[in-house]
Amino acid sequence: MNRPMTGSGPDPWRSPVTVAQIPDTGLHREVEASAAEREAMADMAGLRDVLSAHATFEVVPKSGGRVQVTGHVRARIGQTCVVTLDPIESEIDEEIDLTFVPEAEARPLEDLVEEGRDNDESPEVADPPEAIVNGIIDLGRIATDALFLAIDPYPRKPGVVFEAEVTALDPEDHPFAALKALQDNKQGKKKGK
């Protein structure tokens, strides 16, 4: 999954997990967005509506204070077809696989990954781990980010194809028509002498 899109504004869907309370065996969480949370997500993402949003997570502690979060987010969203402007619905089914590290470790690792991207030695560099902020991992925010990243920015109704209107060009209507007219005018004056 790429970097979060929700920015620093209020998170519409919250489901915090306190890292210190995660058992050694890990935990399984299922979260369902309420009507108010779905409405806030739709407003934030510029969607007609979010009809449903459900996520499942496996949260497993790793060595060194790291936490592995895997799962799925599934949603049904309402959009507008960019060709016909008709309302359409789309299904989102996005996998989640993130590693979280203590906040103090996240910044140096992020800098190291960015440095690797700047050097063209390695064509593909993994995203840096996410930071555990104030001892909390917010599963709702993770689900929201995954949902937002999976939204088709140019949704179309099935089978609809954009076809540009083709018009025949007037042979006299081209970029050099004015030059041709000047040249013809100039030649006409020479012949008239």
Domain extent at residue 126: 1-193
Residue 131: CB atoms within 10 A of its CB come to 17
Q: Is the dihedral of CA 21, 23, 98, 77 positive or negative?
A: negative
The pLDDT confidence band at residue 180, using thresholds 50, 70 and 90, is confident
127 neighbors 113 (Cβ within 8 angstroms): yes
Give me the number of domains the chain comprises: 1
Helix axes 35-45, 139-150, angle to 10 degrees: 50
Token digits of residue 107: 């910044």
Tens-place pLDDT, residues 32-60: 999 999 999 999 999 999 999 999 999 99
Mean pLDDT within 108-115: 54
Tens-place pLDDT, residues 51-103: 999 999 999 999 989 999 999 999 999 999 988 899 999 999 999 999 999 98
pTM: 0.71
User: CA 37 to CA 12: how far, in whole Å?
Assistant: 5
Token digits of residue 90: 């789309």
The pLDDT confidence band at residue 30, using thresholds 50, 70 and 90, is very high
pLDDT at residue 122 greater than cutoff 60: no
